[in-house]
Amino acid sequence: MGDAPLLKDFVDRESVTAIVGAVAVAAGGLDEDTLLELIFDSEWEERALKQRIRHIAVSVRSFLPPDYAEALRIMRDAARTVDGGWMSVWSFNDFVEEYGVDHPDISLPALEQFTKLASSEFAVRPFIVSYPVRMAKQMLAWASHSDPAVRRLASEGYRPRLPWGMGLPELKKDPSPIIPVLEELRRDPSEDVRRSVANNLNDISKDHPDLVVRLLGEWKDGTPETAALIKHALRTLLKQGHPGALELLGFPQEVHVELVAASVDPVVARVGESTVLNLKIRSTADAPQRLMVDYAVIFQNASGTGSRKVYKGAAIDLNGGETFVLERKISLAQRTTRRIIAGPHSVEIQVNGAVLAAVPFDVVA
């Protein structure tokens, strides 16, 4: 079995050729072969996903009229004839992000169109930075749009910490412009839109945890859709053991449990291998308790201070005197997002946000 394709590999010659053909028709003709040669240059294979998207947009721009309004008209006409299933169509959004920020009157309607092919969540962010008051009104207007792709853009594009996207530092400091948009979308019929609302709130919770807990407490209505939104929105705070977040989901701050056993086997493991956590918890209460049992691995890091990462264990209802057993593998494989360094490590057992004990183990090269 071969390696799985990378995301950038979906920005391929077939889809790019189709886009170039659509642009050529909309422009009334251009040298497609030369444009394709410019796009698929000697550096194409080395470019990452977003670099490929930007390179397509820049290359196409060089073949269009100098006037942005006319060039955008051609791009909008071309976009009406291409397949929205192609990852390459992100180049339409990127065209606006790169060249259209100084022209919001014509660029924003284009992003509304393009987001129906591929989300404009990245391309809209420079507009939010440049025109915060105008964009607060625009995002709220999009939140009531008839198309769920546009409604999702109102939330996803407004995320303060969108992965891969431009940061929105002012909204990190003060997320109040976002809240009316999320209020409008929280009962949206589209699950994708509601999930985007939860992702946005999860972003906000990293800077304003109490605000998010208070807001979600007001939203709680007993419906399964809202319950799912709340749980997803609180995922970071739950891992951190935020008391208000736990209580909102029915996990009390005060628990009555005994850690019967906790071990890591093997206690000495090599980089690239794994070890296994085993723990046993017994309820010391008479009544049932709702418990969130998690574990946090303290990885060695270059500074020697340790890097803590919380992993989900299980959410359980434990009757009085009942015992719960958990077994989890701890991977020590090297990853692009985490470098495993030889040295002392440990695992903390966390129940409803409170650490019960820490179990040490060693990693060797």
pLDDT at 11 over 90: no
pLDDT at 203 over 80: yes
What CATH number matches the domain at 124-250, 1.10.3720.10, 1.25.40.290, 2.40.10.10, 2.40.160.210? 1.25.40.290
Supply the pTM of this predicted model.
0.86
pLDDT 10s digits, 219-265: 999 999 999 999 999 999 998 889 999 999 999 988 999 999 999 99
What is the rounded average pLDDT of the residues 303-310?
87
Neighbours of 111 (CB within 10 A): 25
Q: At what angle do helices 224-233 and 209-219 cross, to 10 degrees?
A: 180
Tokens of 273: 């291998």
What is the rounded average pLDDT of the residues 311-321?
92
Q: What is the largest CA-CA distance in the chain?
A: 79
Across the chain, what does the average pLDDT equal? Answer: 94
The three-class DSSP label of residue 54 is helix
The three-class DSSP label of residue 295 is strand
Contact present, 340 and 321 (Cβ < 8 Å): no
pLDDT 10s digits, 86-102: 889 999 999 999 999 99
Band of pLDDT at residue 1, cut at 50, 70 and 90: very low
Band of pLDDT at residue 9, cut at 50, 70 and 90: confident
Distance CA 338, CA 333 (A): 9
The three-class DSSP label of residue 192 is helix
pLDDT at 6 over 90: no
pLDDT at 335 over 90: no
What pLDDT score was predicted for residue 246? Answer: 93
Which of 126, 183, 125, 356 lies closest to 258 in space, CA to CA?
Answer: 356
Q: In the chain, what percentage of residues exceed pLDDT 70? A: 99
pLDDT 10s digits, 151-200: 999 999 999 999 989 999 999 999 999 999 999 999 999 999 999 999 99
The three-class DSSP label of residue 341 is coil
The three-class DSSP label of residue 79 is helix
Every domain of the chain and the residues it spans: 1-120, 124-250, 257-364
Class of the 257-364 domain?
mainly beta
H or E segment at 239? helix 235-240
What pLDDT score was predicted for residue 4? Answer: 67
